[in-house]
Chain A
Amino acid sequence: MTDLNTAPNLTDADGFYEALIAAHEGLTPEQSTALNARLILLLANHVGDRDILLDALRKARGTGR
């Protein structure tokens, strides 16, 4: 298996971030949470590898540190 890639990998980091925030524009907090859930599931499927996903879950759960 490959490891979770935590090195910079976004081709246009600022542009992506802007699009991410814009996707939430006008949504209620509940709608935003639902959007995030759908987004995570879409990306998880793209990643596919179970170990990588579990590693990402661990890192996200650990408040980043």
Chain B
Amino acid sequence: MADIFEQALYPYRRSPDQDAAAPARHPVIVVGAGPVGLAAALDLALKDVPVLLLDDNDRVSTGSRAICFAKRTLEIMDRLGCGQPLVDKGVTWNKGKVFFDERKVYEFDLLAEAGHRRPAFINLQQFHFEAVLLERLRELQAEGRPVEIRGRNKVTGVTRDDSGIQLTVETPDGPYTLEADWLVACDGAKSPIRSFMGLDFHGRIFEDNFLIADVKMEADFPTERWFWFDPPFNRGQSALLHKQPDGVWRIDLQLGWDIDREVEMREENVIPRLKAMLGEEAKFSLEWISIYTFQCRRMERFAHGRVLFAGDSAHQVSPFGARGANSGIQDADNLAWKLKLILDGTAPESLMESYNRERVQAADENILNSTRSTDFITPKSDISHVFRDAVLDLAEAHPFARPLVNSGRLSVPATHAGSDLNGEDALPGGPERTRPGAPAVDAPVGDGWLLESLGTDIVLLGINTSLPDMSGGDTLPVTVLTIETEDDRLGALRERYLGRNEQAVYLIRPDQHIAARWPTYDRKAISAALTAATGGMS
């Protein structure tokens, strides 16, 4: 059987839309069937929002590309119904080591804490990730959910007027026109839609090149992230080693700026570099090679009327920290429920401005972190280099220097602390990590987990307190859920949600971010927070 990325998983089929007398109109069109576009389409379909997903290709991506999927991504995938196959297929890791020259100077554990369903990270080739999401999309179609994917449908033009958005789409049978109420552009870093609309993309380009090699080998390195500063096998540069499924290892070697890409990509030049790292006797085969350079930048705004940009089309970061695909998935998570409420007429269209604000805030956080990592990994001046090496030199013996070692600050979800969707934080001394704006933190509940019990609606969560039925009165669907801290033998639920309080009431958004919290049920306060969380209309 051919590799998964060589198969046409969603081959071109002629659509009745191509023969329609007038352009067919769709409530939501998502462009780009990468991780972000697929996540957005799945989320909308699960909410019964009719969604059409277009891609210029008909298969998953080639090469491992994004390989580190963070805990928050897995939690979102759990909500979309495909977290488990990803974890089953992926390589789970929580630990990392940092080397300087020939010494190990630092090691870390990203999830030293018990009581979480999902690990800090899994490594999984992007094509496997996409394949799992595609399979989930097929399942939803079989259940009758309103989602369609069209392969080899390349968007070649976008125009907007008062009546909506018009897309010109090129297919093997020639072009046709589609109309959409909303357009979600998940069409990648080079986003054609961004270009069609003449939109900006500002930021910083880093003058460096990295060689990525996926090698298949039998090796007894532990399942950890290993990072080298100035190792003997790549002097003056850095290196990164990650384990992937299928006996494949991902190696990133920094090459510097003045290189000849074409020459460096040749196998006869790659093999000696890898042998220097893995040893002369190492037996391995090359699966995929690529050379990349990167930029840290974002669009000024992610929402332009009813055109929403998500993932790499809206923002790009350096790869150190796995903040690319993971933040894109959070974009999809953030916009899907807002679109649902707007299309249902239960929230005003202005709610989408909060997508722009919250995800721009998250992008800035990701860009800041990944820029700092890049500046540490690739010092831009002699003095910067001196300080970098001093930190690494001190880190082995002196603990204070270890937090300064920056080989990538690994992806954590943004807390939208200043968001105008947040209601009050009325829980006295409530834990910082579950304050309004923060993503809900998982905890064991009985034989299951808190996050899996939240579902897809807005949730009013009572901990150690009963709540009245919220149905009727409000037009918004609110799920009422009550749990007891004695259902968690670890005590994590109490520590993460109550602090010193005996009970609490939390209002949680459909993307599992906390909107407000109180010590007791207060109908009026909850109503006000619900209104704020949904853009002020209910």
Q: Answer whether A and B are interacting partners.
A: yes
Check A6–B399 contact: CB distance below 8 A: yes
Known: A8-B400, A17-B372. A24 touches B394 (CB 8 A): no
Check A8–B402 contact: CB distance below 8 A: yes
Partner of B403, one of A5, A8, A18: A8
Q: Taking the complex as formed, is A46 at the interface, i.e. its CB lies under 8 A from any CB of chain B?
A: no
Check A24–B399 contact: CB distance below 8 A: no
List of 8 A-B pairs having minimum Cβ-Cβ separation, nearest first: A64-B393, A13-B403, A6-B398, A64-B394, A32-B383, A24-B383, A6-B400, A21-B384
Whole-angstrom CA separation of A19 from B393 in the bound complex:
20
Q: Taking the complex as formed, is B404 at the interface, i.e. its CB lies under 8 A from any CB of chain A?
A: yes
A11-24 Cβ-contact flags toward B at 8 Å (1 or 0): 00110011011001
Q: Taking the complex as formed, is A45 at the interface, i.e. its CB lies under 8 A from any CB of chain B?
A: no
B98 to chain A, nearest CB (A): 14
Check B372–A8 contact: CB distance below 8 A: no
A35 to chain B, nearest CB (A): 9
Check A64–B383 contact: CB distance below 8 A: no
- Residues of B near A47 (CB, < 8 A) are none
Check A64–B369 contact: CB distance below 8 A: no
Check A20–B387 contact: CB distance below 8 A: yes
Check B397–A65 contact: CB distance below 8 A: yes
Known: A6-B399, A8-B402, A32-B383. A18 touches B375 (CB 8 A): yes
Whole-angstrom CA separation of A17 from B373 in the bound complex:
11
* Most chain A beta carbons < 10 A, residue from B375, B394, B406: B394
Whole-angstrom CA separation of A13 from B394 in the bound complex:
15
Whole-angstrom CA separation of A64 from B402 in the bound complex:
12
B348-403 contacts to A (CB < 8 Å) = 369, 372, 375-376, 381-384, 387, 390-391, 393-403
Number of interface residues of A (CB under 8 A): 22
Q: Taking the complex as formed, is A7 at the interface, i.e. its CB lies under 8 A from any CB of chain B?
A: yes
Number of interface residues of B (CB under 8 A): 25
Check B400–A10 contact: CB distance below 8 A: yes
Check A64–B376 contact: CB distance below 8 A: no
Q: Taking the complex as formed, is A59 at the interface, i.e. its CB lies under 8 A from any CB of chain B?
A: yes
- Residues of B near A6 (CB, < 8 A) are 398-400
Check B372–A14 contact: CB distance below 8 A: yes
Known: A18-B372, A65-B396. A24 touches B404 (CB 8 A): no
Whole-angstrom CA separation of A57 from B399 in the bound complex:
17
- Residues of A near B409 (CB, < 8 A) are 14
Check A17–B406 contact: CB distance below 8 A: yes
Point out residues on A near B: beta carbons under 8 Å.
5-10, 13-14, 17-18, 20-21, 24-25, 27, 29, 32, 36, 59, 63-65
B243-257 Cβ-contact flags toward A at 8 Å (1 or 0): 000000000000000
Whole-angstrom CA separation of A25 from B375 in the bound complex:
13
Check B384–A29 contact: CB distance below 8 A: no
Known: A13-B403, A21-B384, A29-B382. A59 touches B398 (CB 8 A): yes
* Most chain B beta carbons < 10 A, residue from A24, A59, A64, A65: A64
B398 nearest CB neighbor, chain A only = A6
Whole-angstrom CA separation of A6 from B394 in the bound complex:
10
A36 nearest CB neighbor, chain B only = B383
- Residues of A near B395 (CB, < 8 A) are 64
- Residues of B near A24 (CB, < 8 A) are 381, 383-384
Whole-angstrom CA separation of A14 from B383 in the bound complex:
17
A13 to chain B, nearest CB (A): 4
Known: A17-B372, A18-B372. A7 touches B399 (CB 8 A): yes
B391 to chain A, nearest CB (A): 8
Known: A20-B387, A21-B387. A64 touches B403 (CB 8 A): no
- Residues of B near A9 (CB, < 8 A) are 400
A64 to chain B, nearest CB (A): 4
6 more contacts with CB within 8 A, not counting A14-B369, A24-B383, A64-B390, are A6-B398, A7-B400, A8-B400, A14-B404, A18-B375, A27-B383
A63 nearest CB neighbor, chain B only = B393
- Residues of A near B375 (CB, < 8 A) are 18, 21
B403-419 Cβ-contact flags toward A at 8 Å (1 or 0): 11010010000000000
Known: A24-B384, A29-B382, A64-B393. A17 touches B400 (CB 8 A): no
A-B contact pairs, 20 of them (CB 8 A): A7-B400, A8-B399, A8-B400, A8-B403, A13-B404, A14-B369, A14-B372, A14-B404, A14-B406, A17-B376, A17-B387, A17-B404, A18-B375, A20-B387, A21-B375, A21-B384, A25-B381, A32-B383, A64-B395, A65-B397
